[in-house]
Structure 1
Amino acid sequence: MEEQIEGPAFTRNWLAFKVTRAATPGVAVVHLCGPGRGNMMGLAFWAELPELFGALDADDSVRAVVLAGAGKSFSTGLDVQEVLGSWLGKLGPGAQAQAAQRSELHGIIRGLQDSVTSLASCRKPVIAAVHGWCIGGGVDLISAADVRLASQDARFSIREARLAIVADVGSLQRLRGIIGEGQLRELALTAKDIDAQRAEKIGLVNDVFADQEALMAAALAMAGEMAANSPLAVAGTKMVLNEDREENIARGLRHVALWNSSFLHSEDLIEAVTALGEGRPGVFTGK
């Protein structure tokens, strides 16, 4: 029998991910394992995510993907200081013409959006297995997956409004079709945390399992069921399901990128970053 040559998804030394093959044929397991606390999404994460899912998409030996977090949480979200820190200093008090700086921010936001969209664009079905915290960018990420499962200890939060940011990487666009308008508005406008039981009740996750071990077993079993089907039919089904949805999502992503490149920089945002560093709630003035 000819020896299988591993593709780059399995051989590359990723900084923010660990990629392995499950015992179940055709199933790849991707663990978020970035250097930041709680798998925080830094520069390496955003650069590698589309490259990784592009490699998985191109690998014919992969028929389904399980996406999980290493350590105590799935992901605590965007590393604001690492991703936006250098940009924030360019629009301080006294700054003059800002078109170039705002154009740069627009490019940053569009790049982050494209990274998350790589999950939706991947022809292989993606199952997100969430344990611990899933905050901000973590919710953006799982909203682009095909199926979401959770363990009993999972906690979810669309927390951007608490950080003086309009969520701009896909959760506001994708979750409308997953949890419905009313539930989405409540979570996004309050920036509250919800537990796994509430997430299951509103349809954010399909099922909740007792612990991380049971969660991964269920995710791998489901991925195995998908991998056993015709890969052409599975890919075609995903593409058909995505058709209308992704067109509307793309329009919404363009809108929010323009909005945030115009209005993201504010005294409230500076206060949010400061308060985060000091471990206290932000006090916002709407300026």
Structure 2
Amino acid sequence: MKCFALTQTDHIAHLVLNQPEALNTMHPTFWRELDEVLEQLNREGQARALVISSTGKHFSAGMSLDTFAGAISMDDQSPEGRAAVFDLLTDMQATFTRLETLRMPVIVAIQGGCIGGAVDMVTACCIRYASADAFFCVQEINIGMVADVGTLQRLPKLLPQALVKELAYTGRRLSAERAQAHGLVNEVFESAEATLAAALQCAREIAAKPPVAIWGTKQAIHYARDHSVEDSLRQMGWLQGAIWSNAHVREAVLAMKQKRAGAFPSLSALTPFKTLG
């Protein structure tokens, strides 16, 4: 991969944005490679947590402006062209939605600027850690457009609406300290190194739990976010009934008593239906 480096150790996948000279900006290759690696991790089922970190001064400066000048055609001269913009955005949105629907939790370590499309990306993750120098910016309004790949849909679930409006209307920067105060960031650390260390430690703790219980927990949390309490309780009953394991509970309790790591099976590998037959 050109835009990322992927490693897997002890059931933890670590995906690193590795184009610091370009401020880890997002272009079609970035989207394609991210989509491919997320699909791979989801299909294989061996990783139990995914950590995303970056390199250089900034986590990501968002969408590469060169992309709008060449690689992406945004035809506003006809209704047909404008309709194609919808389909293009739907495709782009689906990649970041993969982070949200991935069968494992996603923890992101953010340093420096998290700008424009990078905000779209990190709001689709489960847990956000930041270095003290980190900041968030809904940059799209500063270049004359509406944020369109998830920020305006996910950020109101994570921050007070008045603050979301302030950021989205003005393009102001939100500091790591203020982001933590309002719940966007779980914790702020002194340096990028300490931020990544905390993210990896969190991933290790998650990876020690039964993967199917983590999967079920992520399903329940996301469902409850978008549904009523009554509907969510009903879904919880169905979900728990589907994945309950006496063996997992016994092993978890025994491992805790014996002060050892539990032994749990990984999620099953997925075989895409279209490859069967």
Please classify the TM superposition score into its range, dividing by the shorter chain length: 0.7 to 0.9
Work out the CA distance in 2 between the residues paired with 1:80 and 1:100. 24
Specify which of 206, 220, 241 is matched with residue 221 of structure 2: 241
Specify which of 206, 210, 230 is matched with residue 190 of structure 2: 210
- CA deviation profile, 1:83-122 (whole Å, cap 9, x unmatched): 564556744xxx5xx1221122222111110111010010
Report the AA paired with residue 126 of structure 2: D
**Per-residue deviation, 1:189:** 1.1
Matched, 1:225 2:210: no
Work out the CA distance in 2 between the residues paired with 1:197 and 1:35. 24
Q: Which runs of 5+ in 2 are unaligned?
A: 229-277
Report the TM-score, using the length of structure 2 for normalisation: 0.77
**Per-residue deviation, 1:210:** 0.6
- CA deviation profile, 1:28-68 (whole Å, cap 9, x unmatched): 11011248711000111112222211111122320001111
Residue 82 of structure 1 corresponds to which residue in structure 2?
67
Report the TM-score, using the length of structure 1 for normalisation: 0.74
SS for the counterpart of 1:218 is helix
**Per-residue deviation, 1:69:** 1.0
Rate the CA distance shift 1:246–1:38 in 2: closer, same or farther, 3 A: farther
Work out the CA distance in 2 between the residues paired with 1:177 and 1:162. 23
Q: Are the aligned partners of 2:75 and 2:85 in contact in 1 as well (CA < 8 Å)?
A: no
Q: State the aligned residue count.
A: 228
Rate the CA distance shift 1:158–1:100 in 2: closer, same or farther, 3 A: same
SS for the counterpart of 1:175 is helix
Residue 15 of structure 1 corresponds to which residue in structure 2?
2
Mapping of residues 183-198 of structure 1, within 5 Å: 183-198=163-178
Mapping of residues 129-208 of structure 1, within 5 Å: 129-208=109-188
Specify which of 94, 97, 100 is matched with residue 117 of structure 1: 97
**Per-residue deviation, 1:199:** 1.2
Residue 55 of structure 1 corresponds to which residue in structure 2?
40
Report the AA paired with residue 41 of structure 1: M
Q: Are the aligned partners of 2:51 and 2:109 in contact in 1 as well (CA < 8 Å)?
A: yes
Task: State the identity %.
Answer: 37
Work out the CA distance in 1 between the residues paired with 2:59 and 2:84. 29
Deviates more, 1:105-114 or 1:223-232: 105-114
Q: Are the aligned partners of 1:150 and 1:208 in contact in 2 as well (CA < 8 Å)?
A: yes
Q: Are the aligned partners of 1:149 and 1:205 in contact in 2 as well (CA < 8 Å)?
A: yes
Report the AA paired with residue 20 of structure 1: T
Residue 252 of structure 2 corresponds to which residue in structure 1?
none
SS for the counterpart of 1:105 is helix
Give the RMSD, CA atoms, in angstroms. 2.0
